[in-house]
Amino acid sequence: MSFLSILVFSPLLGILVLALLPKTQESLIKLVGFLATLPALVLALVAFGTKDLTKYDVVKEWIHFGSDPSLFSIDYELGLNGFSLILVVLTAVVSTLAAIASIHIKKEWKGYFMLFLLLEIGMLGVFAAQNLVLFFIFFEITMIPMFFLIGKWGYFEKEKAAYSYLIYNGLGSAILLIVIMVLFARTGTANINDLMQLMAVEGANTPSPISESLKMGLAIALLIAFGVKLPIFPLHTWMLRVHVQAPPSVVMIHSGILLKIGAFGLIRFGFGIFPEQFKTLAILLAILGVVNLLYGAFLAFIQTDFKMVLAYSSISHMGIVLIGLGALNEAGIQGAIFQVVSHGLISALLFFLVGVFYERFQTSTIANLGGMAKGMPLASGFLLAGALASLGLPGMSGFVSEFMAFLGLFEAHPVVAAIGCIGIIMTAVYLLRAVLGMTYGKAGREFLGITDIKSVEFVPVLVLLALIVLIGVYPSVLSEPLQATLETIMLGLGG
């Protein structure tokens, strides 16, 4: 088997082992679940250390339609470029850390971890897939385990959240499926690179396989399909429920990675296959981005539950991705990609800490958690650090992405960007209100028998913080692998 196939399917081994274990062996199941995420992590890091990514490409014949051997075949194709590699690494890292965070899961560990690992396969596959059909299959693979993870291991309104998740994402993927099928039917290929080339060489001597208006329609359909995932206002309400109802370890994955599939799809397929159309849509993206940024920020300001604050904060921060994309220049797009990674790490950190607090106090309501710093100084300190990262403090990853996205947008649409800058202030306002509300001030409770963050709980916090600071201090760690991808995108956009 090839390197990438092993990387993507390595969690399967864990699923098999788990299937053989008796379901009462709590600690053993948790250990296996954690260990099963490690091979993918190691391999992802190995890939991150390699210069030449093309050697990982895998092509195997799979399904074929019709008589022309060069057309209508759907192969099993995996491959990586700089952008997808970074997301594979992010997935592997966050999955391992979320597996550690799963120590707080209280029941049916066996089922939980089997679904968890299946989810990881889906996510790794989404980023490594080289054709649209394969992408779609992996995309769907992420949905099913997620539905059960929310619906079974979540909080009070978990079923409602799970159905809400399913309906929205189901509609999104239905639209996506239509786009993929139209592209496949019209061009005869589902390979992403072929499609990109096919769309790029139009006009010259070959007539375009797809009319301009249909292209625009497909581009808008893609925007909606991935807009549900990102999520773009007003398609976001499902995601609030998931954030609040799913267990923190699952939200780490959801907010850290699954939402990023939306951004990944927009950049890789939207900008890759429909560059001309997205150029036209750019101003719309920028405006949607500012709307997301401000809408999320203002609503986060009045939430009483910290999880809701973070949920709206995610909406707000995904606005930065759109802002960067709407800028249509290198600074903006690089900022958007940085934001994808940065928010993945920061939201994973913050939701892990939510789990740490919830485990001890059975609440995430801000008013019930005042003065935490007295009883849990370390956890409170980490929470503050996470909040500072989230509000874009220099020296941490959030600043680099936010800065580049705004740098880009100020060149393209200075007025829109200036309005968006209100979001920078509001982010500080709502995050400090929430975090200081929880940790500073008079403690309204006794801390008898409450332990501060301890032992294995340190691992996710320290790893995530280290990565956040690494990107913030030395952003070249991301920008160098991204160089080639970015050039390709800019070439597609016409320089």
Partner 1 sequence: MENAWIIPLFPLISFLFLLLFGRRLKENSGYVGMALTFLSLIYSLVVLFDRFNHPTYKAEATWLAIGDVQLTAGFEVNQLNALMLVIVSLVSFLVHTYSKGYMHGDDRFHIFYAYLGLFTFAMLGLVVSPNLLQTYIFWELVGVGSFLLIGFYFYKEEAKAAAKKAFIMTRIGDVGLLIGMILLFWQVGSFEYDAIFLAVEEGAISAGIITLTAILIFIGAVGKSGQFPLHTWLPDAMEGPTPVSALIHAATMVAAGVYLVAALFPLFTASETALMTVAVIGAFTAIFAASIGLVQTDIKRVLAYSTVSQLGYMMLALGSAGYVAGVFHLMTHAFFKALLFLAAGSVIHAVHTQNIEEMGGLWKKLRLTGPLFLIGTLAISGVPLFSGFFSKDEILIAAWTNGNPVLFWLAVIAAFFTAFYMFRLFFMVFTGQSRSEMKNVHESPKVMTVPMIVLGVLAVVAGYFNTPWFGTFLGDWLVEGNEALGHGHTEGPAWIMIVATLVSLLGIFLAWLMYGKKSLQRDWLSSRMPITYNMLYNKYYLDEFYALSVVKTTKGLSVLLSYIEAFVVEGIVKGVAGIVHGLGKTGSKIQSGQVQAYGTVAFVGLAVLVVVYVLAGGYLK
Interface with partner 1 (CB under 8 A): 71, 164, 167, 171, 185-186, 188, 207, 209, 233-234, 236-238, 295, 298-299, 301-302, 329-331, 334, 371, 373-374, 388, 393-395, 399-400, 403-404, 406-407, 410-411, 414, 417-418, 421, 424-426, 428-429, 432-433, 436, 439-443, 475-476, 479-480, 483, 486, 490
Q: 6 vs 166, which CB is nearer to partner 1?
A: 166
* CB 37 to partner 1: min, Å: 29
- Write b or e for each residue in 167-205: b if 16 or more Cβ atoms lie within 10 A of its Cβ, otherwise e: ebbeebbebbbebbeebbeebbbbbbeebbebbbeeeee
Cβ proximity to partner 1, 124 vs 388, nearer residue: 388
Burial class (CB in 10 A: 0-12, 13-18, 19+), 60: exposed
Among left, alpha and beta (phi > 0; psi -120 to 50; other), residue 203 is: left
Residue 280 per-residue DSSP state: H
- Specify whether the CB–CB gap between 477 and 345 falls below 8 A: no
Query: Encoding tokens for residue 159?
Result: 């079923």
Q: Which is nearer to partner 1, 104 or 160 (CB)?
A: 160
Q: How far is the CB of 290 from partner 1 (least distance, A)?
A: 14
Instruction: Provide the 10 A C-beta neighbour count for residue 328.
Output: 26
CA distance 81 to 66: 31
| Closest-CA residue to 236 (of 268, 264, 259) | 259
Q: Are 459 and 252 in contact (CB under 8 A)?
A: no
What's the min distance (Å) between Cβ of 475 and partner 1? Answer: 5
- Nearest distance in Å: CB 161, partner 1: 13
45 vs 418, which CB is nearer to partner 1?
Answer: 418
Q: How far is the CB of 143 from partner 1 (least distance, A)?
A: 16
Quote the least distance from Cβ 441 to partner 1, whole Å: 5
* Smaller CB separation from partner 1, 126 or 471: 471
122 vs 335, beta carbon nearer partner 1: 335
